[in-house]
């Protein structure tokens, strides 16, 4: 049986501080978390960093399941669905109305994984103007390789200010601290 490794990245001090909090929260749950540092001069654009970080994390490693998590996230509970259920190849949260992918991406190490990543890579090269999540959505919509996709619960891609009103009793597993410009707007207010 393969173990699960959590992977994320850091590039500057801002996401580096978030990434360290992510790693600490994983460690508190006895989960392996590895941070990949991208120096400023080689760091891919944020819209393309997921795919490249996943490839980097799989290179030269023994077979294991991988959970990519944005560095601005924190574990609050054990991710039971990913650790205990084995009937799917890919776990991802997507909006049920728009089908837009967001949040963490779980990849189970199966014989189909390499082909799936190749399909995603082909779209990355063919459509460089699209984000890696847009290209991922396209692969998930009609993969050439038969993969079992599990839609993760919203509690795995939780954004408090977005989800709490709709799901008041929910107990988040993984919280994303999205700023969506909140920090820059606060800085502008303080400057006045």
Domains of the chain: 4-191 (3.90.550.10)
- Residue 103, Cα to own-chain centre: how many angstroms? 5
Q: Is the pLDDT of residue 136 over 90?
A: yes
Closest CA to 172 of 188, 157, 191: 157
- Report the predicted TM-score, pTM, of the whole model to 2 decimal places: 0.87
pLDDT in tens, 40-83: 888 888 888 999 999 999 988 778 899 999 999 999 999 999 99
Distance CA 91, CA 147 (A): 11
Pure H helices in 70-163: 80-84, 113-126, 132-141, 160-163
Q: Is the pLDDT of residue 190 over 50?
A: no
Q: What are the angstrom distances between the C-alpha of 34 and each of 22, 114, 167, 170?
A: 10, 21, 31, 28
């Amino acid at each position: 049986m393969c173990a699960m490794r959590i992977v994320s990245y850091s590039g500057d001090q801002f996401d580096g501080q978030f990434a360290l909090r992510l790693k600490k929260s994983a460690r508190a749950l006895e989960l392996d978390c590895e941070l990949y540092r991208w120096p400023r001069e080689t760091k891919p654009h944020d819209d393309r960093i997921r795919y490249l970080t996943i490839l980097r994390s799989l290179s030269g490693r023994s077979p294991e399941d991988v959970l990519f998590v944005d560095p601005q996230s924190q574990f609050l509970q054990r991710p039971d669905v990913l650790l205990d259920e084995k009937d799917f190849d890919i776990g991802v949260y997507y909006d049920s109305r728009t089908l837009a992918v967001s949040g963490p991406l779980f990849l189970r190490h199966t014989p189909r994984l390499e082909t799936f990543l190749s399909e995603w890579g082909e779209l990355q090269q063919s459509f460089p103007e699209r984000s890696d999540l847009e290209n991922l959505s396209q692969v998930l919509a009609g993969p050439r390789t038969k993969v079992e996709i599990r839609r993760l619960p919203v509690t795995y891609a939780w954004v408090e200010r977005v989800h709490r009103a709709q799901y008041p009793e929910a107990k988040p597993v993984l919280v994303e601290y999205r700023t969506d410009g909140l920090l820059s707007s606060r800085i502008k207010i303080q400057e006045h």
